Amino acid sequence: MNQKVLLTKQDIDSILHRLACQLIEKHHNFSESVIIGLQPRGVYLANRIKNILENEYQIKNIDLGFLDITFFRDDFRRNEKSIEASETQIDFLVENKNVIFIDDVIFTGRSVASALNAIQSFGRPKTIELLTLIDRKFCRHLPIQPDYSGKSIDATITDKVKVYWKENADEDQVFLITN
């Protein structure tokens, strides 16, 4: 097994600032836009992006929610994935809003497809976009692409991408693990 650093702490820091600026370009003061972190791992990234927007670009009162897709998965009973849910917390209306989904890695696209179904329970958004830190190209099962991506990588289906945040590990880092 081979482990390679894909992104260092400094890389992640500059990528998050770049992603925040790209969001501002499109969503301005976020009055019509909301951020939804996809549980469980998109939550860290969503919180980080929100903090940068608020503290460094003075955009206040951004609506941030967390969406769990466990009950919307298309592989229930079909594999050994966890059936345990995480918390969904969306305390605002998404009806007619521009929703930005945030997740750490996009791989097959199935989680995002489930999220597209799950968010309908909270209303009909005007638009939905996707922001990810890592885009694993050539692994998609569905025609879903991120609108904002920190880094695109070419990885085979058996490779693993591990994202660590200082909130749950020592420091921010992304690794590519190959066999």
Partner 1 sequence: MSQLSVNHLLGIKYLTPDDIDLILETAKHFKEVINRPIKKVPSLRDITIANIFFENSTRTKLSFELAQKRLSADVISFSAAQSSVKKGETLIDTVNNILAMKVDMVVMRHAHAGAAHFLSQNVNATIINAGDGAHEHPTQALLDSFTIKEKLGSVAGKKVVIVGDILHSRVALSNIFALQMQGAEVRVCGPKTLIPKHIDSLNVKVETNLRKALEWCDVANMLRVQNERLDVSYFPSTREYAMQYGLTKELLDSLNKEIVIMHPGPINRGVEITSDIADSKQSVILEQVENGVAVRMAVIYLLASKIK
The least CB distance from residue 53 to partner 1, in Å, is: 26
Cβ nearer to partner 1, comparing 95 with 171: 95
Q: First vs last Cα of the chain: how many Å apart?
A: 5
Closest distance to partner 1 from the beta carbon of 81 (Å): 8
> Under the rule (CB under 8 A), what is the footprint of partner 1?
68, 70-73, 76-77, 80-88, 117-118, 120-123
**Closer residue to partner 1 in complex, CB, 3/117:** 117
By C-beta, is 73 or 136 nearer to partner 1? 73
> Please, what is the minimum distance in Å from the beta carbon of residue 100 to partner 1?
20
Q: Which residues contact 171 (CB under 8 A, 6 or more apart)?
A: 9, 164
Contact 92, 33 (CB under 8 A): no
Nearer to partner 1, 5 or 142 (CB): 142
- Minimum separation from the CB atom of position 175 to partner 1 (A): 23
Q: What is the C-alpha to C-alpha distance for residues 132 and 19, in angstroms, rounded to an integer?
A: 9
Contact 2, 178 (CB under 8 A): yes
C-beta closer to partner 1: residue 29 or 86: 86
b/e code 81-119 from CB counts within 10 Å (16+ = b): eeeeebebebeeebeebbbbbbbbbbbebbbbbbbbebb
| Smallest separation, CB 105 to partner 1 (Å) | 20
